[in-house]
Amino acid sequence: MDTTEITKEGFDTPSVSHTALLVIGSGAAGMSAAVAARRAAEHSGKSCSITVLERNACPGTKIRISGGGKCNVTHRGTPAELLEKGYLRPNEKRFLRSALYSFANTDLLDLLRSRDVETEERADGKVFPLSGDASSVVVAFEELLRESSVRQLFSSRVRSVERQGTQFLVTTAAGASLTADVVILATGGVSWSRTGTTGDGLAIARALGHSIKDSSAALAPLYTIKPPPATLSGVALRSVALIATAGGRSVDRRGDLLFTHRGFSGPVALSLSRDIGEFATLFGSVSLFADLFPEQSAAELEEKFLFQARKSGAQMVRKFLQSCPIAPLREALALAPHGTIPTALLPFIMRHAALENDVTWSGLVREKRMSLLAVLKHLPLGSVREVPLDQGEVSAGGVSLAEVNPKTMQSSIVPKLFLCGELLDYAGEIGGFNLQAAFSTGWMAGTHAIDS
Residues 182-241 within binding reach of ligand FAD (CB under 6 A): 186-188, 191-192, 196-197, 200-201
Complete DSSP assignment for 332-393: HTSSSPP----GGGHHHHHHHTT--TT-BGGG--HHHHHHHHHHHHSEEEEEEEE--GGGSS
What number of other Cβ atoms are within 10 A of residue 230's Cβ? 9
Taking CB under 6 A as the binding criterion, the range among 8-16, 108-116, 288-296, 416-424 that sits at the site for ligand FAD is 416-424
With CB under 6 A as the contact rule, the residue among 6, 16, 28, 268 that binds ligand FAD is: 28
Instruction: Decide if residue 170 touches ligand FAD (CB under 6 A).
Output: no
Query: Among residue numbers 246 through 305, which ones bind ligand FAD (CB under 6 A)?
Result: none
The CA distance from 321 to 300, in Å, is: 15
Spatial distance between the Cα atoms of 139 and 306, rounded to a whole number of angstroms:
60
Element (H, E) at 180: strand 177-185
Measure CA 375 to chain center. Answer: 31
Q: Is 397 in the site for ligand FAD (CB under 6 A)?
A: no
Residue from 355, 351, 372, 375 nearest 229 by CA: 351
Residues 6+ apart with CB under 8 A from 136: 71, 117, 129
Number of residues that bind ligand FAD (CB under 6 A): 40
Question: Which C-beta is closer to ligand FAD: that of 126 or that of 369?
Answer: 126
Q: Tell whether residue 24 is a contact of ligand FAD (CB under 6 A).
A: yes
Query: What's phi and psi for 430, nearest 5 deg?
Result: -70, 145
The residue (of 148 and 191) whose beta carbon lies closer to ligand FAD is 191
Question: What is the amino acid identity at position 212?
Answer: I
Residue with smaller CB distance to ligand FAD, 41 or 389: 389
Nearer to ligand FAD, 62 or 253 (CB): 62
Segment contacting ligand FAD (CB under 6 A): 141-149, 302-310, 377-385, 419-427?
Answer: 419-427
Q: Check residue 6 for interaction with ligand FAD (CB under 6 A).
A: no
For the chain, give percent helix, strand, coil, nearest 5: 40, 25, 35
Q: Mark 148-167 with x for binding to ligand FAD (rule: CB under 6 A) and - for no binding.
A: ---------xx---------
**66 in contact with ligand FAD (CB under 6 A):** yes
Query: Which one of 150, 243, 438, 445 is in contact with ligand FAD (CB under 6 A)?
Result: 438
* 350 touching ligand FAD, by CB under 6 A: no
14 residue type, one letter: P
Question: Cβ-count burial of 320 within 10 angstroms (0-12 exposed, 13-18 middle, 19+ buried)?
Answer: middle
Residue selected from 16, 29, 280, 341 as contacting ligand FAD according to rule CB under 6 A: 29
If binding is defined by CB under 6 A, does position 422 make contact with ligand FAD? yes
Binding site for ligand FAD (CB under 6 A): 24-30, 53-56, 61-63, 65-67, 71-72, 157-158, 186-188, 191-192, 196-197, 200-201, 393-394, 421-423, 432-435, 438
